[in-house]
Amino acid sequence: MLRIFLLALVVLALVVVVRTALYAPAAVEVTAPGESIDIDEAQVLDRLGQAIGFATISRQPPAPLDAEAFEGFLGWLEATYPRVFQSLEVRRVGGYSLLLTWRGQSAAADPVLLAAHYDVVPVVPGSESAWTHPPFAGRLADGYVWGRGALDNKNAVVALMESVDWLLARGETPARTVYLSFGHDEEVGGERGAAAVVEHLRDAGVRLAWSLDEGSFVFRDMFPGVDVPIATINIAEKGSVNMRIVASAAGGHSSMPPQQTATGRLARALVALEDNPLPGGLEGVAADSFDAIAPHMPLLPRMMFANRWLFGPVVEGQLESLPFANAMMRTTTAPTMLSASPKVNVLPIEAVATVNFRVHPRDKVADVVNYVEDLVAGEHVRVEASGGSEASAVADPDSAGFRLLADVVRREFPDAVVAPGLLVAATDTRHYGQIAEDALRFNPMVVTEAEVEGFHGTNERISAAGMVQGVRTYIRLLREL
Active site residues: 119, 186
Local structure of residue 27 (DSSP, 8 states)? P
Rama region for 459: left / alpha / beta (φ>0; ψ in -120 to 50; rest)? left
Distance between CA atoms of residues 244 and 384, nearest Å? 5
Contact predicate 348/262, CB 8 Å: yes
Distance between CA atoms of residues 368 and 2, nearest Å? 50
305-315 as b/e: b if 16+ CB within 10 A: bbbbeebeeeb
* Residue 227 neighbours by CB distance under 10 Å: 11
Question: What is the C-alpha end-to-end distance of the chain, expressed in Å?
Answer: 65
Pairing of strands 252-253, 346-347: antiparallel
418-427 as b/e: b if 16+ CB within 10 A: bbbbbbbbbb
Contact predicate 123/135, CB 8 Å: yes
Distance between CA atoms of residues 173 and 167, nearest Å? 7
Distance between CA atoms of residues 108 and 85, nearest Å? 25
Distance between CA atoms of residues 153 and 370, nearest Å? 35
If 0-12 CB within 10 Å is exposed, 13-18 middle and 19+ buried, where does residue 69 land? middle
CA angle 231-237-238, nearest 5°?
Answer: 135
Q: Is the peptide bond before 307 cis (omega within 30 degrees of 0)?
A: no
Distance between CA atoms of residues 208 and 201, nearest Å? 9
Distance between CA atoms of residues 469 and 409, nearest Å? 10
